[in-house]
């Protein structure tokens, strides 16, 4: 399931999140948004706890749509520590989006492994 975020909850759920967040700006009338939804659900299932997926209804959250200068829907923003790390918009095909999501997943899987290795090594050093 994808968490629905609004202007009221955006700061807490996205900008202050301890893990990276993939924000999907969408609208109910957007056919491409509906088309990519299964890909995003698959991405969410594969990433588990490493990346959070949230949805923002651009029609109901006009301030957010303006703040992030949406030009087209869907627009995906990868936000880490309150900073936009990647912006995905205007994909030419479902395959383009799939490849971009795959790249994000690999990047954050590798970071997570590196972080866990450093944390484990650090703890081993402290106990020695």
Half-sphere exposure of 120 (CA within 13 A, CB side): 6
Q: pTM for this one?
A: 0.85
Question: Given the structure tokens 């020695």, which residue do they identify?
Answer: 128
Which are the catalytic amino acids?
30, 33
Contact 53, 111 (CB under 8 A): no
Q: Render pLDDT for 101-111 as a digit per residue (tens, 0 to 9).
A: 999 999 887 77
Q: β-pairing, 21-26 with 52-57?
A: parallel
Give tens-digit pLDDT for 37-94: 999 999 999 987 899 999 999 999 999 999 999 999 999 999 999 999 999 998 878 8
Q: Is 9 helix (H, G, I), strand (E, B) or coil?
A: coil
- pLDDT, residue 109, reads 78
pLDDT at 121 over 60: no
Q: Tell me the domains of the chain and their CATH numbers.
A: 3-119 (3.40.30.10)
């Amino acid at each position: 399931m994808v968490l629905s975020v609004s202007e009221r909850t955006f700061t807490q759920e996205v900008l202050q999140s301890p893990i990276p967040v993939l924000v999907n700006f969408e609208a109910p009338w957007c056919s491409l948004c509906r088309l990519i939804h299964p890909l995003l659900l698959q991405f969410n299932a594969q990433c588990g706890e490493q990346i959070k997926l949230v949805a923002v209804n651009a029609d109901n959250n006009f301030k957010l749509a303006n703040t992030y200068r949406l030009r087209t829907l869907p627009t995906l923003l990868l936000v880490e520590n309150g900073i936009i790390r990647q912006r995905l918009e205007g994909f030419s095909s479902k395959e383009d989006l799939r490849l971009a999501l795959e790249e994000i997943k690999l990047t954050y899987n590798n970071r997570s492994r590196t972080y866990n290795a450093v944390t484990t090594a650090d703890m081993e050093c402290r106990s020695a």
